[in-house]
Structure 1
């Protein structure tokens, strides 16, 4: 169990270092949401 928690923690830390700052996480998530929405609109138009 400890090794699983350590692995999850390591993945989270590595993921957060990809952001400019921890406060930038919200901006990154927002950007992903915009991209997903744009992709969904494109699929909707093609149907």
Structure 2
């Protein structure tokens, strides 16, 4: 039973990291778009 709980916790932790990484990439892309518009 303990192994199942640890496995579920690990999966949730990894999915949270991917979500945070995705948000970071979206923010970076938005910043690049704003920077490109500012250069014009």
Q: Compute the TM-score of the two structures, normalised by the length of structure 1.
A: 0.53
Higher relative contact order, structure no. (Cα contacts within 8 Å, ≥ 6 residues apart)? 1
Largest Rg, 1 or 2: 2
User: CA RMSD, aligned part only?
Assistant: 1.5
State the aligned residue count: 28
Alignment of 1:1-47 (within 5 A): 21-47=9-35
SS at structure 2 position matched to 1:29: helix
Unaligned runs of 5+ in 1: 1-19
Q: Compute the TM-score of the two structures, normalised by the length of structure 2.
A: 0.62
| Consecutive aligned runs of 4 or more in structure 1 exceeding 6 Å deviation | none
